[in-house]
């Protein structure tokens, strides 16, 4: 008997369900539910529909709206096409059908499964729910397997293209450059590398230039009308995410993230050992050189002072004794006679170390001389300079790389052997050839060895990565030397091209009467990839 309360007709559709699109569509479900409700005398019908939501996720907008109405006492009956439309999680479906709905005196009907709580629950209902969950798990396995296969073959598997690219419905594997967005990407990298700007400063400049924000730009490309007031809004996090994307040099980067299971939607960020990179798969927006320079700068965890003076060496300076960063500050109170300098962070916080304060002007002179020396050597005796660089590459890369690669292969083979031995032990235990105590003892020994080998593999992979980076940095240094005929003054771009970092030591003149502006600290300039020249 109807009481004037709502009869909730709930429909859900997802392509993950693997059902026929037409027969399983929201419209088809609504028609079926309406026909059943009217044929059986149900009135005051109200539709709740979630289109494109998987059955393992119960945080669906209309499902939650329906549950709110149930808890508020507005709903008398819930009707669905079948149990899988309610959901595909065995425990959660049981919670709603056997506990929550009865708690609020709600009648539940699943038409195709012949379930009606008013007539008593079918004893096979829990088994049907379990079968629905297994179906969802099987679909998830097939999708994961397909994605793994595509990812390992070098195809794009991300559904969200990086800002600066777009694709077409005809060929989603072909990434095309979005000229307007690509211009912004290039500007971000150049401001970061060549103009010594921090991510917050870059975001503020993009906002001042009225560059449309990332998400709003994507909506506009799709033809969606945008009327938001913050259409030109940018933030530091967005700039950082762009600076990290290797896809901008034309590479496909797969398996950057994963989910632990089809039930748990939490995203896990993989380490470099699981990520797979396929070079030159689509048009590049920036050069590899510019991208590598940005990554080198990001690794330094730079602090950009929000002061009018631009501290030229803020990204490069370290104390020679305690290796802490050195930060810029103004010496003196009168701006017209201000002297800019750098101080050791450890000393400045009164936590030890020596006073390594160094004038910025003195640093400029010393670093400029060092850069001029390396350019002069390369131009005056190119054969000798090339030989020095080649020797450096061979010393840091070829010989030691072969040893590290051999050690890595050996460790990986041993891990594979251990896995086979453990499998053999398990089978022997099942056959009764060894008892549980011996199995546990032997397995513990193998597990300990495998743990040590896994740590060694991670260390060796890291070493190979460092050697590859070192070789790339030397090549970039050679390109920088070719780019400049002469350097007469320092700029952020010149520093980014040549310098890895700079170390500042104690003042060499020990006179106590020496003015601060005349300090002559020990300076060590480390060039990219080769260190001190």
For the stretch 318-358, pLDDT in tens is 888 888 888 888 876 555 566 888 888 888 777 778 777 88
pLDDT of residue 284 exceeding 90: yes
CATH number assigned to the domain comprising residue 86: 3.40.50.1390
Identify whether 165 is part of a domain. no
Identify whether 364 is part of a domain. no
Question: What is the C-alpha to C-alpha distance for residues 120 and 292, in angstroms, rounded to an integer?
Answer: 67
Q: State whether 208 and 124 are in the same domain.
A: no
Identify whether 400 is part of a domain. yes
Strand partners, 9: 47, 79
pLDDT of residue 23 exceeding 50: no
Q: State whether 19 and 70 are in the same domain.
A: yes
Q: How many domains does the chain have?
A: 3
Q: State whether 76 and 130 are in the same domain.
A: yes
In which band, very low, low, confident or very high, does the pLDDT at 74 lie, cut at 50, 70 and 90? very high
As a whole number, mean pLDDT of residues 45-56 equals 88
In which band, very low, low, confident or very high, does the pLDDT at 511 lie, cut at 50, 70 and 90? confident
Identify whether 18 is part of a domain. yes
178: CB partners within 8 A, 6+ apart: 163, 164, 165, 166, 221
pLDDT of residue 516 exceeding 70: yes
320: CB partners within 8 A, 6+ apart: 356, 503, 504, 505, 506, 522, 524
Say if CB 157 and CB 254 are below 8 A apart: yes
pLDDT of residue 371 exceeding 80: yes
Identify whether 231 is part of a domain. yes
Question: What is the C-alpha to C-alpha distance for residues 399 and 418, in angstroms, rounded to an integer?
Answer: 29
Domain boundary residue among 466, 482, 516?
A: 466
pLDDT of residue 491: 86
Residue with token string 């896995």: 419
Question: What is the C-alpha to C-alpha distance for residues 310 and 504, in angstroms, rounded to an integer?
Answer: 19
pLDDT of residue 440: 84
Q: 103: domain range?
A: 6-140
Structure tokens at 171: 């060929």
pLDDT of residue 291 exceeding 70: yes
Domain boundary residue among 443, 466, 489?
A: 466
Say if CB 356 and CB 521 are below 8 A apart: yes
The highest-confidence range among 22-36, 60-74, 100-114, 214-228, by mean pLDDT, is 60-74
* 114-148 pLDDT per residue, tens: 888 888 766 555 556 556 555 556 655 666 666 67
Question: What is the C-alpha to C-alpha distance for residues 168 and 165, in angstroms, rounded to an integer?
Answer: 11
Q: State whether 99 and 34 are in the same domain.
A: yes
Q: State whether 266 and 193 are in the same domain.
A: yes
Q: State whether 134 and 206 are in the same domain.
A: no
pLDDT of residue 484 exceeding 90: no
In which band, very low, low, confident or very high, does the pLDDT at 150 lie, cut at 50, 70 and 90? confident
Structure tokens at 489: 């003054």
Q: State whether 190 and 133 are in the same domain.
A: no
Q: State whether 136 and 192 are in the same domain.
A: no
Residue 176: phi, psi to the nearest 5?
-110, 150
Identify whether 343 is part of a domain. no
Q: Which residue has the higher pLDDT, 77 or 435?
A: 77
- Looking at every residue in the chain, the average pLDDT score rounds to 81
Q: State whether 125 and 180 are in the same domain.
A: no
Residue 38: phi, psi to the nearest 5?
-70, -35
Question: What is the C-alpha to C-alpha distance for residues 423 and 417, in angstroms, rounded to an integer?
Answer: 10
The highest-confidence range among 69-78, 345-354, 375-384, by mean pLDDT, is 69-78
Identify whether 167 is part of a domain. no
Cα–Cα distances (Å) from 114 to 81, 162, 299, in that order, read 10, 47, 61
Q: State whether 83 and 189 are in the same domain.
A: no
pLDDT of residue 499 exceeding 90: no
- 121-125 long-range contacts, Cβ below 8 Å, gap at least 24? 121/97, 125/83, 125/97
As a whole number, mean pLDDT of residues 24-42 equals 89
- 11-14 long-range contacts, Cβ below 8 Å, gap at least 24? 11/47, 11/48, 11/49, 11/50, 11/80, 11/81, 11/85, 12/49, 12/50, 12/51, 12/53, 12/55, 12/60, 12/63, 12/85, 12/86, 13/50, 13/51, 13/52, 14/52, 14/53, 14/54, 14/55
Identify whether 349 is part of a domain. no
293: CB partners within 8 A, 6+ apart: 193, 476, 496, 497
The highest-confidence range among 18-22, 131-135, 358-362, 492-496, by mean pLDDT, is 358-362
* 80-93 pLDDT per residue, tens: 998 888 887 777 88
pLDDT of residue 469: 62
Say if CB 180 and CB 163 are below 8 A apart: no
pLDDT of residue 350: 76
Strand partners, 327: 343
Q: State whether 276 and 180 are in the same domain.
A: yes
Instruction: Give, as one character, the DSSP assignment of residue 120.
Output: -
pLDDT of residue 492: 83
* C-alpha of 342 from chain center: 34
Q: State whether 19 and 93 are in the same domain.
A: yes
Domain boundary residue among 298, 314, 341?
A: 298
Structure tokens at 136: 């969802």
pLDDT of residue 308 exceeding 70: no
Cα–Cα distances (Å) from 478 to 287, 379, 498, 527, in that order, read 16, 11, 9, 11
Question: Can you give the three-state secondary structure of 461-477, one letter per residue?
Answer: HHHHHHHHHHHHHHHHH
Residue-wise over 176-215: b if at least 16 C-beta within 10 A, else e?
Answer: ebbeebbebbbbbbbbbbbbbbbbbbbbebbeeeebbbbe
pLDDT of residue 237 exceeding 70: yes
């Amino acid at each position: 008997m109807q009481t004037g309360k709502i009869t909730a007709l709930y429909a859900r559709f997802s392509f993950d369900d693997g059902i026929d699109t037409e027969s399983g569509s929201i419209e088809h479900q609504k028609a079926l539910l309406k026909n059943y409700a009217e044929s059986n005398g149900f009135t005051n019908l109200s539709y709740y529909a979630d289109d494109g939501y998987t059955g393992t996720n119960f945080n669906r907008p209309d499902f939650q709206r329906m549950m709110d109405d149930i808890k508020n006492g507005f709903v008398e009956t819930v009707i669905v096409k079948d149990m899988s439309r309610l959901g595909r999680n065995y425990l959660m479906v049981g919670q709603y059908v056997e506990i929550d709905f009865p708690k609020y005196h709600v009648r539940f009907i699943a038409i195709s499964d012949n379930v009606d709580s008013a007539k008593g629950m079918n004893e096979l209902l829990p088994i049907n729910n379990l079968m629905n969950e297994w179906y969802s798990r099987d679909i998830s396995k097939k999708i994961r397997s397909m994605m793994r296969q595509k990812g390992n073959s070098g195809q794009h598997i991300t559904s969200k293209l990086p800002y600066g690219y777009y694709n077409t419905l005809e060929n989603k594997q072909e990434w095309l450059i979005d000229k307007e967005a690509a211009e912004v990407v290039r500007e971000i990298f150049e401001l970061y590398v060549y103009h010594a700007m921090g991510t917050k400063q870059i975001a503020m400049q993009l906002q001042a230039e009225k560059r449309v924000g990332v998400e709003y730009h994507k909506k506009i490309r799709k033809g969606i009308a945008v009327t938001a007031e913050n259409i030109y809004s940018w933030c530091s996090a967005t700039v950082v995410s762009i600076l990290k994307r290797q896809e901008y040099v034309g590479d496909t980067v797969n398996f950057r993230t994963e989910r632990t299971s089809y039930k748990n939607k939490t995203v896990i960020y993989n380490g470099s050992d699981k990520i797979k990179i396929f070079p030159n798969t689509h048009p590049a927006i920036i050069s590899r050189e510019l991208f590598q320079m940005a990554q080198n700068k990001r690794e330094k965890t730079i602090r950009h002072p929000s002061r009018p003076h631009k501290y030229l060496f803020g990204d490069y300076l370290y104390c020679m004794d305690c290796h802490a960063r050195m930060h810029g500050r103004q010496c003196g109170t009168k701006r017209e006679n201000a002297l800019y300098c750098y101080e050791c962070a450890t000393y400045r916080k009164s936590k030890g170390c020596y006073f390594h304060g160094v004038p910025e002007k003195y640093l400029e002179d010393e670093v400029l001389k060092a850069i001029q020396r390396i350019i002069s050597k390369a131009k005056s005796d190119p054969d000798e300079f090339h030989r020095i660089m080649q020797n450096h590459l061979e010393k840091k890369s070829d010989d030691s790389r072969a040893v590290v690669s051999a050690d890595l292969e050996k460790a990986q083979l041993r891990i594979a052997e251990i896995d086979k031995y453990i499998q053999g032990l398990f089978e022997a235990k099942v056959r009764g050839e060894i008892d549980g105590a011996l199995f546990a003892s032997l397995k513990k020994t193998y597990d300990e060895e495998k743990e040590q080998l896994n740590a060694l593999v991670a260390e060796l992979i890291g070493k190979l990565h460092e050697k590859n980076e070192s070789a790339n940095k030397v090549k970039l240094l050679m390109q920088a030397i070719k780019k400049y005929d002469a350097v007469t003054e320092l700029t952020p771009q010149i520093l980014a091209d040549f310098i890895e970092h700079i170390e500042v030591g104690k003042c060499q003149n020990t006179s106590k009467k020496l003015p601060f502006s005349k300090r002559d600290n020990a300076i060590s300039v480390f060039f990219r990839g080769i260190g001190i020249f």
